[in-house]
Structure 1
C-alpha cells in the first residue's frame, strides 16, 4: 500500500532539526556520488511548463518532484519515491510544504557550515513561504537574538513579523526599508520574486553571511554580480544547476561564477570553510534529489 502524505502530514511530522540533519546527509551523499542529482528539466505545455527534479540514492530509492508554472492556477507539487530494487512506489507527498521546507533546511545547513558561530542578528528581505522556511530552519542552528524583516507590502511585513514572534518566539522588527533590514546584520537572507536587485552590495557588512533564494538569471535576478564580487567566499548547493539555467544563471561567463564552491565539498572538508572575518554569499539554486531524500526519510 502506498503511503500518501499531505501538507498537514508534513507540517506535523517534519521538525526543523531533523530536516536540517537530513539535508546535511543529502549534501554529503551527493558530494560522494551516492546521491544522483541531475539538474532539473522541464517540458513546454502551451502557456506553461511542467518541471521535474529527479534523484536516486544508490541501492535505496529513486524518485522525482514535479510542479507546474501555469500562471493562472499553479497546482500542488508531487514528490514520489520508488524502491530501487523493485520499482514499487514507496510513498507520495502531495502539496506545497515539502519543497520549501527542504530549501529552508538546506539554507540552515549552509548557515551552520559557512557563517560565524556567534552570528545572531538576521536581516531578511521577503515575507513569503521561502522567507518563513529559512527562519524556521536557521533558528535551530544559530541563537537568533534579533530578526529584522522587510517587504514592500506593509500588511504582509507586519503579519510576517507577528507570526515570527508568535510561532518561533524570536524578537523581530518590521523594517521600513531593505537597507534597514540588512545593514549591519551578521546573517542576511534574500527571499523575493524581484526581477531586479533588492539590495546594494555596499549595505552588506564585512564578515557577514548572505543567502540568496530568489530569481538569479540574466534579465531577472534579485541580486547583482557585485554582491558576489564583494564576497570573499561564494558557495552554492549545486554547481551543475547553475550551468543549466535557461535563460542563463546571472553569473554565467563571469569570474564570479568560476569562484563558486560546492556546499557539499565544504561539508566534506574537500573545500576550505570560510575563516573569521570573511564575507560569504550562498546561492541557493535547488540541489535535485533532496525533496525525494526528505520524503524517503519521512517514510522511514
Structure 2
C-alpha cells in the first residue's frame, strides 16, 4: 500500500471543523480512560540558528477508531526576515498502529491550526455558558480564524469583537467573516468582556487584565516559558482547566504565576480530559469566569490527522507515492 502525500490545501479541503472537534473530544475522552500513549514532547535546541525542533508522538484507541503518529515541528523566529520562510513549519507522519505502515505524510502547520481551534471548541463546549453569543478575539492572526470557526461550531456566535495592534489584520478578518457575523474592532477590554474570548498572542506581560463576569477564556497563546497573556488575578479567581499538567506548569498560560508561587495545585480545577470524561464538572450553575489553558497535545494532532486521512481517502484527495520499499 502506498503512502498518501497531503499538502496544505489537501489538509484544509479534507478537514471538516465539526469532525475535527469531535475527534479531538474523543481523544481527550480516550486519554481519561488511559487509552492513549503520549510521551513528553522532546526538544532539539539550536541557538546557533535561533530556533528549535520539537517531536510530538502519540497513539489513540478511541474505541471506534485507532491511530498513531508523530508531528515534527520547529520554531525559528528569524525565518521570515532571513530566509523568507515561516517561523513555524510542521510535518505529520500518520501511521497504521497494526502494521506501522506510514499511511500519510501531511502538512502539520495547517493541521496544528485545525486541532488548536478544535481544542478551544471542546473546552468551550464544556465550560462556556450555553447561551453564549459573543466572541472576543485578542489577536487577529491566522489562529484567530480557526478560533472563530471552531467556537462557532459549539456556540451560536453572532457578534465578534477583535482586538489587535495591526489594523490591516483586523480588516482582513472582518472582510472574511462579515457576511456570517457582526464583526467589529474593539479594545482588549471590550473583547475580553464577551461571553467567550480566545487569546492567541505571544506576549510575555499580561494584556488581558479583566474579563466579563461569566466569560469563558481560551488562553491559547502561551507555548513557552515566560509567555503570559492573562493577568494573575483573573487566573486565580477563575475555574481553571488545563490540557496537561506538566506542559501547562512549564510553558502554558499559568507557567509564570506558577513559577512565582502565585498559583499552585489548589488553583487547578481539572485537566480537560477529566471534564470530557465526566470525572470533574464543567460549567456549573453559579460559575463565574472559566479559563482553559491550552499548550497543545500530540493526541490532538493524531486525532485531526485521522479525520483528514479518512476524508482524503474517501474523496481521492492527495498524491500516492511509494515511501516504503517492497523488500522484506
- TM-score exceeds 0.5: yes
Among 291, 295, 300, the residue aligned to 1:285? 295
Distance 1:133 1:13 in 2: 15
Structure 1 stretch displaced more, 138-147 or 69-78: 69-78
Structure 2 Cα separation of the partners of residues 285 and 7 of structure 1 = 22
1:267 to 262, 276, 289: 276
Consecutive unaligned residues in structure 1, runs of 5 or more: none
How far apart in 2 are the matches of 1:180 and 1:246? Answer: 24
Aligned counterpart, 1:189 = 198
Q: From the superposition, tell whether residues 182 and 224 of structure 1 become closer, same or farther in structure 2 (CA, over 3 Å).
A: closer
Give the superposition deviation at 1:238: 1.6
State how 1:173-212 maps to structure 2 within 5 Å: 173-175=184-186, 177-183=187-193, 185-201=194-210, 204-212=211-219
1:238 aligns with 2:241: no
1:39/1:288 contact within 8 Å kept: no
TM-aligned CA distance change 1:282 to 1:257, over 3 Å: farther
TM superposition shift of 1:109: 0.7
- Identify the residue that residue 214 of structure 1 maps to in structure 2: 221
Instruction: Report what 2:181 is aligned to.
Output: 170
3-state SS in 2 of match to 1:256? coil
CA distance in 1, matches of 2:164, 2:230: 15
User: Is 1:296 aligned with 2:309?
Assistant: no
Helix, strand or coil for the counterpart of 2:295?
coil
Cα 1:218–1:297, aligned 2, differ >3 Å: closer, same or farther?
closer
- Greater Rg by CA: 2
What is the root-mean-square deviation in Å for CA atoms of aligned residues? 2.1
Instruction: Look up the SS of the partner of 2:105 in the other structure.
Output: strand
- Give the whole-Å Cα distance in 2 for the aligned partners of 1:82 and 1:181: 41
Separation in 2, partners of 1:75, 1:188: 24
Secondary structure of the residue aligned to 2:44 is: strand
Structure 1 residues 216, 22: closer, same or farther in 2, change over 3 A? closer
Measured after TM superposition, the shift of residue 220 of structure 1 is: 2.9
Q: How many residue pairs end up in the alignment?
A: 293
1:61 Cα deviation after fit: 3.6
Alignment of 1:31-42 (within 5 A): 31-42=32-43
Shift of the 234–94 alpha-carbon distance from structure 1 to 2, 3 Å rule, reads: same
Partners of 2:104 and 2:201 in 1: CA distance: 31
Distance 1:34 1:28 in 2: 9
**Against the structure 1 CA distance between its residues 181 and 246, is the aligned structure 2 distance closer, same or farther, given a 3 Å change threshold?**
closer
Cα deviation for residue 295 of structure 1 reads 0.9
Asked if 1:56 is matched to 2:59, the reply is yes
TM-score (norm 1): 0.91
Secondary structure of the residue aligned to 1:97 is helix
Unaligned runs of 5+ residues in structure 2 are 80-86, 311-328
Deviation at 1:298, TM superposition (A): 2.4
Q: Which residue of 1 aligns with 2:139?
A: 126
Measured after TM superposition, the shift of residue 50 of structure 1 is 0.7
CA contact (8 A) 1:39 1:244 kept: no
